[in-house]
Structure formats: structure tokens, C-alpha cells
A = this chain, B = another copy of it.
Amino acid sequence: MDLKYPERAARFADEVRAFVRKELPAEIRDKVQRRQKITPEDQRTWQRKLCDKGWACPSWPKEYGGPGFDVMERMIFDNICSEEGAPSALPFGELMISPVLFAVGSPEQKAQLLPKIRTLEYWFCQGFSEPGSGSDLASLRTRAVQDGDDWVINGQKMWTSGAHNANWIFMLVRTNTEVKQQEGISMFVFPMSTPGITVRPIVTMDGEHHTNETFFDNVRVPKTALIGEVNKGWTYAKLLLGHERTSIARIGQSKRELRRLKALASEINITGAPLMDHTPFRDRVAAVEIELLALEITALRAIAKGGSPGVEANLLKVKGSEIQQKLTELFMDAAGPYGLPFDPDRGLHDGNEPIGFDEAASLGPNYLMTRVVTIYGGSNEIQRNIVSKTLGL
């Protein structure tokens, strides 16, 4: 079922929906809906449409070139775009580094970076995690030392997702080893073309190349690459990771997947009747739909409440990710034997018919890859730690 939004919001939702249906190329929408790989060119194509409409970087205020949506419009915009099959916005530029720039970027950094983040000319990746520091991010060891007016960076970053497509990076490095871990970290931004950077692919168990490890060998960057103050990087990172958590709920995407799941399960027959009419399966789908509905309202409540998010922010991450996983599990249940043939290209072949049914090829890889959503962006264990701290435990 769909929530009833207030009239103004409902009008806006209709406007967004009409826009996406008109402007989103069918080929890109089909790829998204079939969970196939979106190319950088696809992403840029959609970004150009958004720029033309004035809706690029929907989270941004007007002064930086954003549409200046209020929080409700923002949520509706994200949900409708996802529901209609638009490529997800890349979080690193718009959602992660930009709010930090708004807050502590120099006028020059803002002027140079923000317009090109908006157009995706500058495509960012994130250098946070390291081999030894996953959930314990503050233990990172990549170093930057001052050398004249420059900083020289040495070390290794893990899980630099999309680094192979990115031309800019923002990263955390240790600039002081004498103080408490959190107090010796700084944040830098610079082009990936800077000499000394090596990107090596990490293939995930779905067989795809989404992420990388990135090595920094005497990478020399100017002092203008420093964001805000030296040794204040941890504070900025927390700001930015909070943003990651709310967008990670992916409510619109889950609504899209739920709709497709129902459609698929209505087509698949078991012992002569549609799978969707098999009550144990139907009830499992309904249970997820209900949880998702509750989560959507929880998100609205968090928006209405404003201010700094409490338990709801972590809840959005935890439940949002669990719902995503449950949906992939239900898709695998629906696929039956056709969940088995494994195709890392997710059906993007030249000339070949799909094996089984149209979207079967994406279900296995997507099921596997979606295991990551309870790990990244602060694992669900970390989220629950935070909730219990918020509760005073």
C-alpha cells in the first residue's frame, strides 16, 4: 500500500514522477530495474537531466546550486526517483564531501569543487577504511607529513568503492601520532590523477568489480587539499557518516524491489497456481511490506522532528538494510532453481537470451552483494552499539 502524503507533498510527488518517466531513458531504467551494472556514462546522462531541471544534488541548498528542497521534498524526491528506476545518486560527492565543504571548506574549495560535483565532472571516491581498521575506523594508519607547503601521503585504503571510475578522492589520514587516535586525523581532497596513486580492483563474491584497494606512495598534495583545520578530520568524518546512514535506508529502492517481487511472484507458478497466491510466501512478502511501510513513516517522523537524529537514524540503517536483504532472499525463493545459474554480468550479454526468465540473472549476484548492506556504512552491530549508547547504556 502507499502512504497518503499531505496534498502539497502529493503534488510534488506527482511532479517528480512525471519528470522521471519523461526524462529517464528507458534503457537506463531497465538496467536499474534489472539490477544490471550502471555505467559512468549512464550516471552522467541522468545527472545532466537533473542539472537541466535544477534538481541535481537534491540535498543541497539553493546557494550552492541545489534545488533547495525541504526535508519532506527531499525524501519524496529520493523515493520517487528510486521507485521509478532512476540510478541512485552517488553518495560520495553530493552527500558526503559536500556537506563538509559547506561547513568548513574554504571559499576557493567551494568555488572549485561544488559546481563540478554537481555536474559529476568531479566524480569522488572515499578513502576511509584500511586493512586494519574496519569498524574501528579511528585506528587508521595512512600518514600525511608536511614537506614545505605540501603534504606527502603514504599508506593504503580499502573499500575505495568506485575508485576506478572516480577522478577525485576525499580521505582521512593520520597527521599526528602523538595524540589520542581521534585527534590526529585530517581530511584531504585531491585528484586521483595525482602521481603515486595505484588502484587495484577487489572483486566481490557476486563476481563484480565494485570496489578497490588504493595505495598511496609518496603522494604529494598542496596545502589547499586540506579540508578545514588540521587534526580535525574525525569531527568532519562523523558529520559525513551521519549522512551516509540515513540515505542508506534505501526506502524507495526497496519499494521498487517489492513491487517487482510481487510482479515476478505473480508470473511464477508453483503446482499450477501463482507463487504470489501461495499463502506462506504471500505472508512473508506482506511482512516485509509492512516493515517497510513502518520504516517510511519512521523516516517521515525523523524529518518532522528535525534537529539531530536519535535512535531513528540508526534504526533507518538497521531496518533498511535488513529489509533490503530480506527482499533479495525472497527473490531467491521466488527464482527457485533459476536462482542457481550464476552470471556476474547479470544478463548484460550480447545476443544471448537470459537463462530462465528475464531478470533471473541478476538475482543471485544481487542476493550475494546485498549481504554488504549490514556491513558497510557502520555495520549493524555498530549501529546497535550506538543505539544502546543513546539509551544511556
Contact = CB atoms under 8 A, between A and B. Distances in A.
Interface stretch (A194-202, A277-285, A383-391): A277-285
Contacts of A283: 280
Q: Is the interface of A mostly helix, strand, loop or mixed?
A: helix
Interface in A252-280: 278-280
A283 B281 CA distance: 11
Interface size class of A (residues with CB under 8 A): under 10
A47 to B, nearest CB: 45
Nearest to A278: B279
> Which of A278, A280, A283 counts the most chain B CB atoms within 10 A?
A280
Contacts of A280: 279-280, 283
Interface in A134-175: none
Nearest to A283: B280
A35 B279 CA distance: 32
A284 to B, nearest CB: 9
A283 B284 CA distance: 12
A276 to B, nearest CB: 14
Contacts of A278: 279
A278 B280 CA distance: 9
A280 B280 CA distance: 5
A283 B283 CA distance: 12
Contacts of A279: 278-280
Candidate in A278, A279, A283 with the most chain B CB atoms within 10 angstroms? A279
Interface string A270-306: 0000000011100100000000000000000000000
A307 B177 CA distance: 53
A279 B279 CA distance: 7
Nearest to A284: B280
A158 to B, nearest CB: 25
A329 to B, nearest CB: 16
Nearest to A282: B280
A129 to B, nearest CB: 24
A263 to B, nearest CB: 22
Interface string A48-90: 0000000000000000000000000000000000000000000
A279 B284 CA distance: 12
A339 B283 CA distance: 23
A106 to B, nearest CB: 49
Interface in A182-198: none
A379 to B, nearest CB: 18
A330 to B, nearest CB: 15
Interface of A: 278-280, 283
5 contacts: A278-B279, A279-B279, A279-B280, A280-B280, A280-B283
User: A-B pairs with the 5 shortest C-beta distances?
Assistant: A280-B280, A279-B279, A280-B283, A279-B280, A278-B279
